[in-house]
């Protein structure tokens, strides 16, 4: 199955769960096996992210800590936030995250894509990116970019991203 068919094909293992969550922006993946336990994994586009849960996720994937005040501001100014979570003893456990900045019309950039290491290799990264792209396409955004560390370029290529075919190189300015 190609990347695009994955999220436009109604036969995927992702389906709406509006009745159970009473949240029109949530869907879930049924019965993901984690060791010998089956979990229901949920998507959400709700921007109400627990900063401490997000910090734990970022720590788990080995990212450098960022000031929570700045993370909160980045979340507030994001165009789209998609998270993956499950419930454990009625507590929401964040296991996946991505956020997007955009002009809301032509362009969007995906940032901070993370899947908890205990849940990697189970298709959740692909499902997360599929949901992000599906949400952006709902706004008719056609230019979607991201920055990828060298060790994950293969993953992004596998799901349809490519190095800029026009050879445009990104440029950055940093304070000295």
Distance, in Å, from the CA atom of 81 to the CA atom of 132, rounded to the nearest integer, reads: 8
Residue 156 annotated among the catalytic residues of the structure:
yes
The two tokens of residue 95 are 């296991």
Q: How many CA atoms lie within 13 A of 10 on its CB side?
A: 1
* Residue of 48, 62, 65 whose CA lies nearest to 116: 62
Q: Is 112 helix (H, G, I), strand (E, B) or coil?
A: strand
| Residues forming beta bridges with residue 97, ordered by sequence position | 83, 114
Instruction: Tell which residue, 88, 91, 80, 86, has the closest CA to residue 115.
Output: 86
* Choice among 52, 87, 139, 156 that is catalytic: 156
- Per DSSP, the residues of 48-77 read ---HHHHHHHHHHTTPPP--HHHHHHHHHT
Distance CA 146, CA 156 (A): 9
- Known catalytic residues are 156
């Amino acid at each position: 199955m190609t990347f695009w068919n994955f999220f436009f094909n109604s036969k995927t293992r992702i389906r709406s769960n509006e009745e159970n969550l009473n949240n029109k922006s949530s869907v879930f993946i049924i019965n993901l096996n984690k060791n010998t336990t089956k979990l229901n994994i949920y998507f959400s586009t709700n921007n109400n992210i627990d900063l401490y849960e997000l910090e734990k996720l970022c720590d788990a994937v080995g990212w450098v800590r960022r000031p929570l005040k700045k993370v909160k501001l980045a979340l507030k100014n994001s165009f789209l936030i998609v998270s993956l979570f499950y419930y454990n003893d009625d507590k929401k456990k964040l296991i996946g995250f991505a956020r997007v900045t955009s002009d809301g019309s032509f362009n969007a950039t995906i940032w901070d894509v993370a899947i908890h290491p205990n849940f990697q290799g189970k298709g959740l990264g692909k499902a997360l990116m599929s949901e992000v792209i599906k949400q952006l396409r709902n706004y008719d955004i056609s230019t979607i970019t991201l920055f990828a560390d060298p060790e994950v370029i293969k993953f992004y290529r596998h799901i349809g991203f490519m190095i800029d075919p026009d050879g445009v190189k990104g440029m950055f300015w940093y304070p000295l």
